[in-house]
């Protein structure tokens, strides 16, 4: 498939369905095929094929059609992998990530944080003050945490993603 030459699409598919899933996408028969046929052609286990196909389906990158055998009544699922909208899927993922990062950036800019000296976690000022700046998990001291560098990194990342999605 031509789209699989794109490093971004490959990386996304690998993250989504793993290396075996990428093999399935690359080697699956053109058109419709049963999961058993896909497993046979790709050399990937049937359970892995089913898992990958379902994940691709959930993300709009595969579809299936059911047929009922008239004699036995059994259902057969015919799968088709379709990456024609992968860039729309990637764009939607980037937009979701952008919203998450923007929300996190807003929280980081508008809040003061205190961190446990033993590394248990970070706490908002209100919680830290409410526990007299003692870690509610382990009892160690909570110290002010300067998040200036984190805010700068989040701002940089938000700008990078905005360039990609707009």
In three-state secondary structure terms, 30 is coil
Predicted local distance difference test score (pLDDT) of residue 3: 45
Give the span between the Cα atoms of 162 and 10, in whole angstroms.
22
Structural domain boundaries in the chain: 2-84, 88-165
pLDDT digits (tens, 9 = 90+) for 83-119: 999 999 999 999 999 999 999 999 999 999 999 999 9
**E strand or H helix at 96:** helix 86-110
What is the average pLDDT across 139-151? 96
What whole-number percentage of the chain has pLDDT above 90? 88
Give the span between the Cα atoms of 54 and 64, in whole angstroms.
9
Mean pLDDT of the chain: 93
Which CATH code for domain 2-84? 1.10.10.10
In the predicted structure, residue 67 carries a pLDDT above the cut 70: yes
What is the average pLDDT across 48-73? 95
b/e burial code for range 55-87 (CB count within 10 A of at least 16 → b): bbeebebbeeeeeeeeeeeeeeeebbbebeebe
Q: How confident is the model at residue 27 (pLDDT cuts 50, 70, 90)?
A: very high
In three-state secondary structure terms, 97 is helix
In the predicted structure, residue 2 carries a pLDDT above the cut 50: no
Q: How confident is the model at residue 164 (pLDDT cuts 50, 70, 90)?
A: confident
Single pTM value for the model: 0.73
Give the span between the Cα atoms of 127 and 118, in whole angstroms.
17
């Amino acid at each position: 498939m031509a789209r699989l030459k794109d490093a971004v699409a490959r990386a996304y598919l690998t993250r989504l369905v793993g290396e075996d899933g990428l093999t399935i996408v690359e080697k699956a028969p053109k058109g419709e095929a049963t999961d058993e046929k896909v497993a046979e052609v790709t050399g990937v286990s049937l359970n892995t094929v089913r898992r990958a196909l379902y994940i691709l389906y959930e993300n709009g990158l595969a579809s299936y059609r059911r047929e009922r055998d008239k004699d036995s009544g059994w259902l057969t699922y015919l799968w088709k992998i379709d990456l024609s909208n992968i860039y729309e899927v990637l764009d939607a993922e980037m937009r979701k990530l952008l919203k998450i990062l923007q929300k996190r950036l807003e929280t980081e800019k508008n809040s003061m944080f205190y961190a446990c000296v033993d590394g248990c976690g970070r706490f908002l000022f209100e919680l830290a003050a409410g526990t007299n700046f003692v870690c509610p998990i382990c009892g160690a001291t909570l110290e002010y945490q300067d998040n200036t560098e984190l805010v700068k990194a989040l701002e940089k990342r938000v700008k990078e993603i905005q360039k990609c999605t707009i």
